[in-house]
């Protein structure tokens, strides 16, 4: 099975987004009274009462800048939740345990940033389905998105990919 590495939004990127998001706006502050929100900074669910920011993020943009790829119309910008204050990020490399409770849309991208295909996967099948997608040499990386609202959740690369090209 293809070895994979899960990538949250890197901490330095989240720091910059907390000031100005990828749509050029100031993030929206929210007190998450109920918890259960998937956080893209540390890939866990929020706890009740945590302070979050809702901001726009372009999951391909920094990867494209680092690699010279031109995703063109695939350079989407969409809403994500992150901690309001800096957190410890995501230290694991497998599928985040707290984010396996929901199905995900897995989007496979080519090396030029185009969408090759999408596969719907149950939360418990994410690792196997992602490894299967990445066993295709045409697939450069995979993005996991929410099924219900479509938001970017995390990226999955081959374990041999260098962190500098992480989306």
Nearer to Zn ion, 8 or 108 (CB): 8
Contact present, 7 and 157 (Cβ < 8 Å): yes
Q: Which residues contact 81 (CB under 8 A, 6 or more apart)?
A: 30, 32, 37, 38, 39, 40, 46, 52, 53, 54
Minimum separation from the CB atom of position 11 to Zn ion (A): 9
Q: Which is nearer to Zn ion, 41 or 156 (CB)?
A: 41
Q: Which is nearer to Zn ion, 41 or 106 (CB)?
A: 41
CA dist 86 and 8 (Å) reads 14
Shortest spacing between CB 82 and Zn ion, in angstroms: 6
Residue 122 CA to residue 38 CA, distance in Å, equals 16
Shorter beta-carbon distance to Zn ion: residue 51 or 70: 51
Smallest separation, CB 42 to Zn ion (Å): 3
Residues that bind Zn ion (CB under 5 A): 39, 41-42, 83, 87
Residue 3 phi, psi (nearest 5): -75, 135
We find the least distance from the C-beta atom of residue 77 to Zn ion, in angstroms, to be: 20
CA neighbor of 25 nearest in space, from 79, 62, 69, 96: 79
């Amino acid at each position: 099975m293809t070895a994979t590495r899960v990538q949250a939004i890197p901490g330095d990127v989240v720091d910059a987004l907390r000031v100005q998001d990828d749509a050029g706006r100031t993030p929206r502050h929210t007190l998450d009274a109920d918890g259960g929100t998937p956080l893209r900074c540390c890939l866990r669910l929020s706890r009740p009462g945590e302070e979050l920011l809702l901001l726009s993020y372009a999951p391909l943009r920094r990867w494209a800048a680092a690699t010279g790829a031109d995703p063109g119309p695939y350079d989407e910008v969409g809403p994500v939740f992150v901690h309001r204050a800096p957190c410890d990020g995501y230290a694991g490399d497998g599928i985040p345990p707290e984010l396996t409770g929901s199905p995900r849309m897995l989007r496979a991208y080519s090396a030029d940033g185009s969408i090759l295909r999408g596969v719907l996967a149950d939360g418990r099948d994410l690792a196997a389905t992602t490894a299967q997608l990445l066993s295709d040499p045409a697939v450069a990386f995979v993005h996991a998105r929410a099924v219900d609202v479509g938001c970017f959740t995390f990226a999955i690369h081959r374990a041999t990919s260098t962190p500098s090209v992480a989306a």
